[in-house]
Amino acid sequence: MPAAPTVVLNARALERTVARMADEIVERADGTEQLVLVGIQRRGVQIADRVAKVIADREGAQVPRGALDITLYRDDLQTVGPRPIIGKTDIPWAIDGKTVVIVDDVLYTGRTVRAALDELADFGRPARIMLAVVVDRGGRELPIHADVVGRVVDVPKGGRVDVFVSELDGRDEVTLVIAGEEG
């Protein structure tokens, strides 16, 4: 029987967290002028959209948003099994000299971010790259570190943490599942 998921952040809590993340991002970037948000497919894109909306409300600035699909840059394509579906990559402006904030839902091993860094390097040379994630669950396999973190969640071995967004999943929620005998 799979263990029931625990709600770490409900919809309202997630909204607050995202708002605080947006403030931190602007603070660390010293304003919105060179700021650019790049969401990692899939849910990083929706989170980046919300961050941009908060920034627009608070600062009155429209921060450019892009999407990055890192499938083709993964280091585990040969062993991952099913050929992953490739999502849309859309970075329609030059990133040279910009402050690029990579936005993702969960930071775990760090491999996704490594792939994103490689891919961004093919687009240009930002002045600075930062990482903002909703959940940091630890378990890093590479020396990757998030600059802006929504919530640190300690996930026991075999467990998982998921971020759900209403655009894709019908609800806003962050849940933690501890391993039972998962089906």
Partner 1 sequence: MSAPLGKDLLGLEHLSAEQITLILDTADPLREISERAIKKVPTLRGATVLNLFYEPSTRTRTSFEFAEKRMSADTVNIATAASSVTKGETLVDTAKNLEAMKIDMVVIRHPSSGAARFLAERIESNVINAGDGMHEHPTQGLLDLLTLRRKFGTLKGKRVCIVGDVLHSRVARSNIWGLTKLGADVAVCGPRTLLPAAIAEFGVTVFDRVEAAIEWADALNVLRLQLERMTGGYIPSLREYNRVFGVTRERLDRSPRDLVIMHPGPMNRGVEIDSDVADGPHSVILEQVTNGVAVRMAVLYLLAGHAPALAEAAKGGDRS
CA distance 35 to 102: 11
Q: Does 102 bind partner 1 (CB under 8 A)?
A: no
Nearer to partner 1, 12 or 83 (CB): 83
Nearest residue (CB) to partner 1, 82 versus 170:
82
- Among candidate residues 31, 5, 21, 100, the one with its CA nearest the CA of residue 54: 21
| Residue ranges in 30-59 that form contacts with partner 1 under rule CB under 8 A | none
109 token code pair: 């091993």
Residue 25 backbone phi and psi in degrees, to 5: -60, -50
Q: How far is the CB of 57 from partner 1 (least distance, A)?
A: 29
80 touching partner 1, by CB under 8 A: yes
Residue 89 interacts with partner 1 (CB under 8 A)?
A: yes
DSSP assignment string, 136-174: E----SSS---SEEEEE----TT-EEEEE-HHHHSS-EE
Binding residue (CB under 8 A) for partner 1 from 16, 20, 58, 88: 88
Cβ 15 vs Cβ 172: under 8 Å? yes
Output 31 or 138, the one with its CB closest to partner 1. 138
What residue has token string 């995202």?
18
- Per CB under 8 A, contacts with partner 1 among 108-167 are 108-109, 111-112, 118-119, 122-124, 160
- Binding interface with partner 1 (CB under 8 A): 69, 72-73, 76-83, 85-90, 104, 106-109, 111-112, 118-119, 122-124, 160
